[in-house]
Amino acid sequence: MKIALFATCIVDAMYPRTAQATVAILERLGHKVVFPSGQACCGQMHVNSGYFKEAHSVVANHVAAFDTDDYDVAVAPSGSCVASVKHQHELVARRCGDAALEARAAVVGAKTYELSQLLTDVLGVTSAAEQLGSYFPHKVTYHPSCHGMRLLRLEDKQLNLLKSVGAIEMVELPEADQCCGFGGTFSMKNADVSSAMNADKAANICGTGAELCSGGDASCLMHIGGGLSRQGSDVGTLHFAEILASTLENPVSVSGAVTLAGSKR
Amino acid sequence: MSNTFLGMPALPVYGHGNLNATEPFPKAAHRELGNDQLRANLGHATHTIRDKRLRVVSELPDWEEMRNAGSAIKNATMANLPVLLEQFEANFTARGGIIHWARDAQEANEIVTALIRETGESEVVKVKSMATQEIGLNEYLEEQGIAAFETDLAELIVQLDHDKPSHILVPAIHKNRSQVREIFLREMPVVDPNLTDDPARLAEAARTHLRKKFLSAKVAVSGANFGLADTGTLTVVESEGNGRMCLTLPETLITVMGIEKLLPSWTDLEVFMQLLPRSSTGERMNPYTSLWTGVTPGDGPQNVHLVMLDNGRTAALADEMGRTALNCIRCSACMNVCPVYERTGGHAYGSTYPGPIGAILSPLMTGIKSEENNSLPYASSLCGACFDACPVKINIPEILVHLRGVDVDSKRSARKIPTQMDVIMKAAEWAFSSGSHLNILEKGLPLGKLVAGRDKVIKKLPGMGAGWTQSRDIPAPPTQSFRQWWDKEHQPESGVDHQSTTPEGAQA
């Protein structure tokens, strides 16, 4: 299968390892990965901040980059960005009176998958250890991000993939379904409420005794990890793609001090 | 537009009364977050109701179908509202009720006052009602020399404490029982000085306090949960039985109901009597459901009035993206699951309608420019828990985002100097609307690494970014972006077959 990678802007700029891990997993399964070079961002920061007019050109750019027959399916290592592509793009086009873009956005949205969706529903991965050689001998807890959980209905797809990694010890996160408080510009506009939500998330994570908190959205992991780092905690955050990509021969290192979604290694 | 009078008021006629945030939400939230007692009370109460709701909802195999039915009935009601209102009026009037139409809070207050004056009474008992909170009826009546006594236990607590409700179903959710005990001891004219904070003892104290009022009251004021158009019937759904006493004992009953509370027919009630109790109190069935249709000679109130309240509802209905907010049946499930409400409480929202539904309903009813209501649509991380919990499937996150757009657009023309947010969004539009633009920016990533220094984290950002760094570090950026890595790996002339390369992420 020919798979187009939508890296997402935050992974592209801040967490390239997450995208590299995504490529590694897909290639290990024997698929060809392409990277449409025109891609930039899904535009949800603009949309969720109310800047629909500015979102229009961002959405148009994404649709132009991915509206080709050059690939079978598109994938992104983010529930939130995929939800934006699937649910917001048509809305933005409609609001800006761009019917042609609306139609093309629907086509692109239908072909776009979140990583765990693609691995589970399309590529039939049931055991990461057996099919991907995933090996990660660490104690890990998992935060399901809101948009993956509620907009994409990913259910336990990410968690089940993590549980099937060799040598991993998964511990349950209390109140896992509670938002970490990121919410894009919410974290700055309503910084106090956002910080209070993050503090509770951090306390729950630390209470599990896990070395790491994994998840499927780099933005939420940056938020949670940033809070843990500020508190001086040793607990880091790591995208599940990087854990799936980790093998006995080429392990992802989590030693050392705080890791913010893998940035410090 | 011609100036000829066409018999229709210009739209939108916005709502007034207790519908406004009077200070920006972040500021109010900052203050409320500092109240540890409030947060403890709220955390405990919302989690208890949340768990109860989940239990009773999960035992129904057709809950999702029921939500779809509730949503469809309400959508049909709104699409046909003018016809249904006239049908309701005809049926209600035919059974001896009297209808009054109020455009806004002021008109509604004046109508109710005049109706009470006609009876010659200066005291009324009240059934818990959001509509009368919205129009500030109690305060208005007090100015007119009429005393209104709240009979719902939690409303009574709030009224005795000269406070404001902070939740639409559990108005005193911000108070714990020892605080309630203090209020009763301080404010009740006759009270057992040995009163404890045992809930049963507290309830008994309230019962004793209220019983005299019920038996002597000649006039009652209520709200209504539903109005059934095909029969002209009004409904009040409650837990304590105080409502039943108010609705049956006095001679005069004055009900204030928003025009959106209609259901097309009696049979539609079946759906909502299943949705509402489970969503609100987490009960399979509420203890008391009262229904009345006009006047029954010799039984119950003989003077039955209904004030039909617009107060911005027509304006909300005119908003194509926002109108489903009117489908709300005031169950409060959205606030019980909201992580923002859980931490700030209801007072931070200013309006009678707090929480996620309030953050959309208040600005829809008042217009986005009213006082500080334009800060309400931003009071959400868009986590979506409210949409999942809503029994009539109001897509609250989508309407929040829509209203943010209305807010931004409302300022575009008025603003001479762009705000920091405008500048950031404009710059991000440039960066994010082209792969090569983003690539240019990403070439500056090593600069960020430099700023982060030896700690490898950025601990302080200027401007809006300071909101982030007040409690969160930012990691040092990588030396190169994914895009740059990919391009190096996939240069055709380099002869590297990318299938055989091992990505950096897997070896680290």
- Read off the pLDDT of residues A49-63 as tens digits, 9 standing for 90 and up: 999 999 999 999 999
Q: Is the pLDDT of residue A174 over 50?
A: yes
Interface mutation vs chain A, best among B472, B481, B483, B507, most A CBs within 10 Å: B472
Candidates A41, A47, A250; nearest CB to B506: A250
Closest CA to A260 of B450, B484, B458: B458
What is the reported pLDDT for B500?
A: 39
- Read off the pLDDT of residues A33-51 as tens digits, 9 standing for 90 and up: 999 999 999 999 999 999 9
* CA atoms of B393 and B371, how far apart (whole Å): 29
Write down the mean pLDDT value for chain A: 95
* CA atoms of A218 and A79, how far apart (whole Å): 10
CB contact under 8 A, B483 and A35: yes
- Read off the pLDDT of residues B330-346 as tens digits, 9 standing for 90 and up: 999 999 999 999 999 99
Of the listed ranges A16-20, B380-384, B393-397, B498-502, the least confidently predicted one is: B498-502
* CA atoms of A163 and B96, how far apart (whole Å): 67
Q: Is the pLDDT of residue B494 over 80?
A: no
| Same domain for B431 and B293 | no
Is B467 a member of any domain?
Answer: yes
- Read off the pLDDT of residues B389-433 as tens digits, 9 standing for 90 and up: 999 999 999 999 999 999 999 998 777 788 999 999 999 999 999
Asked if A37 is an interface residue toward chain B (Cβ–Cβ < 8 A), one would say yes
| Same domain for B296 and B182 | yes
Tokens of B441: 């920016």
What is the reported pLDDT for A26?
A: 98
Q: Is B234 helix (H, G, I), strand (E, B) or coil?
A: strand
Q: Is the pLDDT of residue B499 over 70?
A: no
What is the reported pLDDT for B127?
A: 93
Q: What percent of chain A has pLDDT over 90?
A: 95
Of the listed ranges A244-258, B67-81, B141-155, the least confidently predicted one is: A244-258
Tokens of A11: 């992974």
Is B441 a member of any domain?
Answer: yes
Say what the ipTM of the complex is. Answer: 0.96
What is the reported pLDDT for B102?
A: 97
Asked if A15 is an interface residue toward chain B (Cβ–Cβ < 8 A), one would say yes
Q: Is the pLDDT of residue B3 over 70?
A: no
Write down the mean pLDDT value for chain B: 92
Q: What percent of chain B has pLDDT over 70?
A: 94
Higher pLDDT: B455 or A146? It is A146
| Same domain for B308 and B427 | no
Asked if A199 is an interface residue toward chain B (Cβ–Cβ < 8 A), one would say yes
* CA atoms of B212 and B208, how far apart (whole Å): 7
| Same domain for B434 and B307 | no
Is B405 a member of any domain?
Answer: no
Q: How far is A181 from chain B (nearest CA, A)?
A: 6
- Read off the pLDDT of residues B122-167 as tens digits, 9 standing for 90 and up: 999 999 999 999 999 999 999 999 999 999 999 999 999 999 999 9
β-partners of residue A26 are none
* CATH number, position B266: 3.40.50.10420
Q: Is the pLDDT of residue B5 over 90?
A: no
Is B490 a member of any domain?
Answer: yes
Ramachandran angles phi, psi of A191, nearest 5°: -60, -35
Is B507 a member of any domain?
Answer: no
Q: Are A197 and A178 in contact (CB under 8 A)?
A: yes
C-alpha dihedral sign at B182, B184, B185, B187: positive
Asked if A148 is an interface residue toward chain B (Cβ–Cβ < 8 A), one would say no
Interface mutation vs chain B, best among A51, A89, A95, most B CBs within 10 Å: A51
Closest CA to A87 of A66, A100, A71, A102: A102
- Total tally of structural domains belonging to chain B: 2
Residues 6+ apart with CB under 8 A from B425: A46, A49, A51, A54
Q: Are B305 and B271 in contact (CB under 8 A)?
A: no
- Read off the pLDDT of residues B299-324 as tens digits, 9 standing for 90 and up: 999 999 999 999 999 999 999 999 99
Asked if A233 is an interface residue toward chain B (Cβ–Cβ < 8 A), one would say no
Is B277 a member of any domain?
Answer: yes
Residue B501 banded pLDDT, cuts 50, 70, 90? very low
Q: Is the pLDDT of residue B276 over 90?
A: yes
What is the reported pLDDT for A257?
A: 42
Q: Looking at B274, B297, B315, which one is the last position of a domain?
A: B315
In the predicted model, what is the mean pLDDT of residues A109-114? 98
CB contact under 8 A, A193 and B29: yes
What is the reported pLDDT for A192?
A: 98
Other beta carbons within 10 Å of B338: 27
Q: Looking at B297, B315, B333, which one is the last position of a domain?
A: B315
Q: Is the pLDDT of residue B2 over 50?
A: no
Nearest C-alpha in A relative to B408: A50
* CA atoms of A38 and A115, how far apart (whole Å): 20
Q: Is A123 helix (H, G, I), strand (E, B) or coil?
A: coil
Is B272 a member of any domain?
Answer: yes
Ramachandran angles phi, psi of B381, nearest 5°: -85, 5
Interface mutation vs chain A, best among B334, B398, B433, most A CBs within 10 Å: B433
* CA atoms of B179 and B38, how far apart (whole Å): 11
Q: How far is B33 from chain A (nearest CA, A)?
A: 8
| Same domain for B197 and B66 | yes
Q: Is the pLDDT of residue B213 over 90?
A: no
Q: Looking at B315, B332, B347, which one is the last position of a domain?
A: B315
Range of the domain at B192: 25-315
Q: Is the pLDDT of residue B9 over 80?
A: no
Encoded amino acid at A23, one letter: V
Residue pairs between chains A and B whose CB atoms are closer than 8 Å: 254
Is B506 a member of any domain?
Answer: no
Residue B496 banded pLDDT, cuts 50, 70, 90? very low
Q: Is the pLDDT of residue B505 over 90?
A: no
Residues 6+ apart with CB under 8 A from A198: A180, A181, A182, A223, A224, A227, B471, B472
CB contact under 8 A, A51 and B474: no
Q: Are B47 and B339 in contact (CB under 8 A)?
A: no
Q: Are B439 and B433 in contact (CB under 8 A)?
A: no
What is the reported pLDDT for B498?
A: 43
Asked if A50 is an interface residue toward chain B (Cβ–Cβ < 8 A), one would say yes
Does residue B418 have a cis peptide bond before it, meaning omega lies within 30 degrees of 0? no
Asked if A264 is an interface residue toward chain B (Cβ–Cβ < 8 A), one would say yes
